[in-house]
Structure formats: C-alpha cells, structure tokens
Amino acid sequence: MKKVIVLFVVIACLGAALYMGIGRRVAESPPPVIGQTQSVYQKMDGLSEDVYRLAKEGKYSEAKKQLAELGMLVAQAKPPKGLSLEAVNALTDTVIKAKRAFASVEAEPNRLIWHALQVRLTIDSLTHESEPLWKNYYNSYQEHINKMMLLVASRKQNEFARAFTQNLQLYQTLKPAMSIHTSAQNMEALYSVYSFLIQETRKQDYNWDGITNALEELNRQTQIIFLGKEQSTFGLGIPPQSPILIIALFASCIVSGLGYFAWKKYRAENEGRKRERDG
C-alpha cells in the first residue's frame, strides 16, 4: 500500500510540474510578430482602442480625429502576410464605414459606438491572433443559438424573429474581425446560413424544418470559428490547456493505477485464503 501512495504522490507532482511549465511557457511567449510592419499595427491597435473609448465617453469629435489617423495608417500599411483578399477588404471597408458614420451631420450615438466597437475588434484581430477580443463573444453567440432553437421548437414566430435580429446584429458586429483569421470557406458557410434565415424571417409562414437545419449548421460553424474545431465529445467546452482537463486526465490515470493494485491485492488475498483452506 505504501508503494501505491508513493506512486500517487509522484504522478501528482509530475502533473503539477507539467501544468506549471505549460502555464509558464504560455505566459512568457511573446506576442505574434507581423513582419516589418509590427510597430505600425501596434499603433493602429492603440488608435482603435482610443476611438472606442472616446466614443463611449461621448467625445465624438476626438474619436473622429483618432479614426482619421487610423484610416491613414490602414491605407499606407502593408497587409500582413497571409491575409486573404476578403479580410483586407473587410478591414478597409470597416474603417471607411466608420469614418462616414462619424462624418454624418446627425449621427446617432449608439450607431457611432457600434462602428467604433467594430473597428476596435477588427484591428485587435490583426495584432492578437491567438486570443482576439471577438472570441470573448462566444458565450453570447451560443446563448443566442440555444434560445432560437427553443423558439423554433415551440413555433413562436414573432419571438424567434426578435431573437434572430439580435443574433444578426452580433454577427454583423463581429464579421470583419472574424474574417481576419477565419477561412473564406467557413465565412461563406456562415454567410449562406444568415442569408437563408433572413429570407425566412421575411416570409409570412416560416419553414421551420429548414430553419432548424440552418440553426444546426450555424451551431456547427460557430464551434469551428470560435473554438477552432467542432464541439468536443466531452461536451463541456473545456479548452485543451485547461487545468481542469489536465487534472482530470491525471486523476483518471491514478484511479486506473489504484484500481489495478487493489485488484492484485484482492486476488492475492483470495489465493492465500484458498491455500489455507486446502492445507
């Protein structure tokens, strides 16, 4: 039994050391470098943050000036290596539309904040490839899909239309940022789903079966785009580097080992008692 305890302690220590080592490497890893224009994109990132902050504070004229400077940098900067044509167009189009909104005579404050947020998320996606801000909206996106699924099941047409409108607004906000590091194929699949749902919500009578299929595809694409793969068989949404998952894996190894030693001990005791009875 002492050997089992020693083995348990050794495995636990190895697991803790491995996890601490992984966390240290992740913490010490430098941000991704984007060619020779890294300093330009870092400046763009700071400007986009200022634009969003100023817009939320109601300082629209100051935000407009920062946005104009950001627009000049976007026009002059060399696109990052590997960026698709669709992503380049999404980036420039987002900045251009935001500049037009801020130049409007009667611009709505909420609309300006929305454009500022869209610009912020898109620029951030250029400089933070591993953990961009737009991926923080995964839970909200998933909640929208779950809610729409329930409304489809209950055939509540008006409520579904409102829920879909909310999700569509979120999709339109994140779309430019998504396109930076999402394949054109996945973005096209997402566009097709939303095109179908938009058409259906304009009809008097919904094709509920078609909507159900579209939402299932939307859920699948959401897993791929936000998580980088389809939903895990664990069904818990735990990332591979999660300490919970690492601990669970080590625990399963320990339980298996303890179970094996317990079985051997039980078998040895049974054989001993049998020999005593035969003797």
Amino acid at 224: I
pLDDT band at residue 241 using 50, 70 and 90 as cut-offs? very low
Q: Answer yes or no: are the C-beta atoms of 45 and 123 closer than 8 Å.
A: yes
State residue 127's pLDDT score: 86
Q: Answer yes or no: are the C-beta atoms of 85 and 61 closer than 8 Å.
A: no
Buried b (16+ CB within 10 A) or exposed e, 149-163: bebbeeeeeeebeeb
Specify the residue for token string 């080992």.
257
Q: Answer yes or no: are the C-beta atoms of 140 and 192 closer than 8 Å.
A: no
Residues sharing a CB contact under 8 Å with residue 211, sequence separation 6 or more, in sequence order: 152, 160, 197, 200
CA–CA distance, 124 with 181 (Å, rounded to integer): 11
pLDDT band at residue 239 using 50, 70 and 90 as cut-offs? very low
**Structure tokens, 204:** 């008097």
State residue 107's pLDDT score: 81
Between 43-47, 86-90, 208-212, 223-227, the lowest mean confidence (pLDDT) is in 86-90
Among 85, 70, 83, CA closest to 115: 70
State residue 87's pLDDT score: 87
Q: Answer yes or no: are the C-beta atoms of 193 and 214 closer than 8 Å.
A: yes
Amino acid at 221: Q
The tens digit of pLDDT for each residue in 3-60 reads 544 444 444 444 444 444 444 443 333 444 334 456 888 999 999 999 999 999 999 9
Alpha helix stretches (DSSP H) within the chain: 2-28, 38-56, 60-76, 85-103, 109-127, 138-153, 157-181, 184-201, 208-227, 243-278
**Structure tokens, 224:** 């791929």
pLDDT of residue 106 exceeding 90: no
Percentage, residues of the chain above pLDDT 70: 68
The interaxial angle of helices 184-201 and 157-181, nearest 10 deg, is 160
Q: What is the mean pLDDT of residues 138-146?
A: 96
